[in-house]
Each structure stands twice: as structure tokens, then as C-alpha cells.
Amino acid sequence: QPPDIARKTNHSQQAVDRYIKDYERVKFLVRRGIEPAQIQHMTGRGKSVIEQYIEIIEHYHPDNGND
């Protein structure tokens, strides 16, 4: 749960909610075949953040982000 994540990572609840929202947006865009540079532009997040989200997606959603 997000409150548990916030507590365990010493991040604010607001930050955790933003991370989750951004991750879901990136997953949605990856699923539609959008290139990382375009995802970066569309989300306003940095290159390294997008790369990290894509690594997580590839690891936990190897079927290209589909649940």
C-alpha cells in the first residue's frame, strides 16, 4: 500500500502517489509503442527516471507492460 511504501522509503505520501501515477503513465505509453524520448517529453520526467521505469516494466511486465 502507498502509505507503507512512503514509510519504508522515507518519502512523502504525495511523492509516492506521484511515482505510482508516473509509473502507470509510462507503462501505458510503453504498451502503445511510444519511444522513451517521446515518453520523457510527454511526462516531463528525466531520461534516467524513464529508463528506470522501463527497466521495472520489462522485469515485472515482460509482456510489454500488459497486466
List, for residues 38-63, the tens digit of each pLDDT value.
Answer: 999 999 999 999 999 999 999 998 88
Domain ranges of the chain: 3-60
Residue carrying the nine cell digits 506521484 = 18
* pTM of the complete model: 0.85
In this predicted structure, the answer to whether residue 65 has a pLDDT above a threshold of 60 is: no
**How much is the pLDDT for 64?**
62
Q: What digits encode the pLDDT tens for the residues 28-39?
A: 999 999 999 999
Tens of pLDDT, residue by residue over 7-27, are 999 999 999 999 999 999 999
The whole-number pLDDT of residue 66 equals 54
